Structure 1
């Protein structure tokens, strides 16, 4: 999980670097197309079956995950890296809330506390962003967390239905790639050049390493410990942002991020 967290942080770095010459839709397209090629090629070599009776659930998960990824990459491109990552990591808080609203689950006291701490942290974190960088990037960063939490409900359903993990990841990548191809018909493709190809390759490789490491961690490790270690992504992102772009965090930002992280840890304990 530590490797996954560092790789997700590195992915954010490559997104921010590539955003200088490529649009958000293109960045998401290249990130997911890489996963389609790698996972699809590995499945073909292993003679694994692509057919699934759960295509409807895959479509729901894929569409929610794709829009979440668009919002997330836009936020990374326009916000300090640690801020964008932290807003995306509100997903456990929203997952707990949506489990109540959509599935009728009962929210225990620790869940209520997680909600309160999480929303307080979000408001605190977004206040300077709202005034200095505009509202859109902050709202889309938060929306990425909401949609990611929603998509995790469908991931859970797919897991409970016995769907193979690789097919869940593959169909998400495939749906996102097709979505990117569709959206790019209404935009201008920017060429890959010697200047941006390293960032695009770094984006694809880091995302794939992160996904595989995270999947392995949840498979063999203790779920609660692994979930808590995932917040190291925020720490790595803060470090990368400070070293590469001098985005040094003040005490208010650190306090707000701490509240959001604590909220996620409490929400995962419910």
Structure 2
């Protein structure tokens, strides 16, 4: 029996910590959704995270080669929209459903890599994609309402953002990529909240919420959410540094277990057998695709 190297074990541990912190981020976002919209939750998540990451940047200045500013901006904008749809699904459904929808990202990443980057889609990978979409159909209950569209959009937009990151690695420090995302995640929600003061839209309900002044425990949840998200990002980055991407991506599915456990603690209704089956198919699909990295 081949034992894992110390670096690989450390990478797995870091990813488990990151998954736990990301699940906590969802918990605090869920608690905040009772008093503010998903746009404002996105704003506070990134505002606190920006301050935390900023401290790390001051300690160790960023050095970039540069050369792809449009792609960098694109990653920040798409990542922010993905976060808006993600927090919307958190507010509208159980934590387990929201995170499973988000975990469709590897399925769309495989398709985008095939369509945009010219990477080969092998037969077993194609089968995994088909299994994943079957899981999406079951998770949505064979319906396509607004909530389900937002959930699927979360996975698709996350995949688009991830695909763009792959083309930025050779040009920018990873902290620059994270900062571009967080800066966009502060500026875009601010603009959207200002627009929401003058107009509403059922179609863009996930993106148009007026600003609500946080009160009482809201400030505690905001601080904890931002800190958990920032450190989750840090530990996830460390995990990919120590272990292979396929291993880390597989371990990242532990966030589904953490989110489900926390959701039950918050009073989420237990999922139906059909929803559970759909979630399992999506996870299996994602793991199979992740193992090809």
Aligned equivalents of 1:14, 1:50: Cα separation in 2? 34
The total of aligned residue pairs comes to 265
Give yes or no for the alignment of 1:163 onto 2:180.
Answer: no
What's the offset of the Cα at 1:10? 1.0
User: Which sections of structure 1, spanning at least 5 residues, go unmatched?
Assistant: none
**Residue number in structure 1 paired with 2:271:** 249
Aligned equivalents of 2:276, 2:130: Cα separation in 1? 18
Give yes or no for the alignment of 1:60 onto 2:70.
Answer: no
Contact 1:35-1:170 within 8 A present in 2 as well: no
Deviation string 1:220-240 (CA, Å, 9 cap, x unpaired) is: 123221110000111111111
User: Which sections of structure 2, spanning at least 5 residues, go unmatched?
Assistant: 1-14, 197-209
Following TM superposition, the consecutive aligned residue runs of length 4 or more in structure 1 with deviations greater than 6 angstroms are: none
Deviation string 1:73-127 (CA, Å, 9 cap, x unpaired) is: 0001001110010001000000001111222222101111111110000000101
Q: Which stretch shows the higher mean deviation, 187-196 or 46-55? A: 46-55
TM-score, normalization: structure 1?
0.93
Which of 204, 212, 218 in structure 1 is aligned with 2:226? Answer: 204
Give yes or no for the alignment of 1:177 onto 2:186.
Answer: yes
Per the alignment, do residues 43 and 82 of structure 1 end up closer, same or farther by CA in structure 2, a change over 3 Å counting? Answer: same
Aligned equivalents of 1:257, 1:136: Cα separation in 2? 19
Aligned equivalents of 2:270, 2:218: Cα separation in 1? 26
Q: Which stretch shows the higher mean deviation, 38-47 or 149-158? A: 38-47
Contact 1:43-1:49 within 8 A present in 2 as well: no
Contact 1:75-1:84 within 8 A present in 2 as well: yes
What's the offset of the Cα at 1:50? 7.6
Aligned equivalents of 1:177, 1:83: Cα separation in 2? 26
